[in-house]
Amino acid sequence: MKKSFFISLFITGAVFLACSSLLLGLTSYLHPLVIPVVICCFFFFFYSLILLLRKENLEISYCLFTGIIAVYTISLLVLLFFRPNLQYNYGYNLIPFSTISFYLSGKVKMIIAFYNLAANIGLFVPFGIYLMLSSKKSFVTHVIVPLIWIILIEIAQLLTHRGSLDIDDLILNFLGITIGYIVYPVFNKIVTIKKGAR
């Protein structure tokens, strides 16, 4: 287990160094917290992949996993609501796929387009995994509740002038949550969440 940890750490460091110029470029567009968030995401991705390949299992308590998700959520909220140099886009878009098409058109910097598309999907995958741990497996829990939360965040961004209300963000974020549902069986193979454990 320790070997897998250090291998993942090494790969994460190597990937970060290889992509450092692109990743550091994000700080001109987002809060500097984006760097540790991306590094942590890289690490957990590689760690999960190596555990899967080595057929190892990591056991953590439900309380600890909930704490990790809570810290992760706060970090994402900081990225959404606190950007440098007042780089906020006000307004709203209710036309599906128009913003997505704009980012794919090549009219903005590649790193910004990549972040807005890939990150809006990838950064929400952990929430799908977390929701799968719920004892209540229902349409309300897995569809209605996450949609309401995403809509509330979008409305809050608009009302506080910290971003725009965009239906494409809703589509991308919920797609990320859905991917979390899909990859949960794989996650469950490598991570055992022990409810009731301290």
Q: Please write the tens of the pLDDT for every residue from 6-35.
A: 999 999 999 999 988 877 877 777 778 888
Q: What percent of the chain has pLDDT over 90?
A: 61
- Contacts of residue 173, defined as CB under 8 A and 6 or more positions apart, other chains included, come to 120, 121, 124, 150
Q: Element (H or E) spanning 83, and its range?
A: none
Tokens of 60: 């953590």
Residue-averaged pLDDT of the chain: 88
* Res. 2 pLDDT band, cuts 50 70 90: confident
pLDDT of residue 197: 46
CB 161 within 8 A of CB 90: yes
CB atoms inside a 10 Å sphere around CB 118? 12
- Contacts of residue 79, defined as CB under 8 A and 6 or more positions apart, other chains included, come to 30, 31, 33, 34, 37
CA angle 91, 116, 178 (to 5 degrees): 105
> Exposed, middle or buried, 131 (CB in 10 Å: 0-12/13-18/19+)?
buried
* Res. 4 pLDDT band, cuts 50 70 90: very high
Averaged pLDDT, 98-119: 86
Q: Please write the tens of the pLDDT for every residue from 40-52.
A: 989 999 999 999 9
pLDDT of residue 26: 75
Considering only 81-85, 115-119, 191-195, which range has the smallest mean pLDDT?
Answer: 81-85
CB 84 within 8 A of CB 26: no
157 vs 87, higher pLDDT: 157
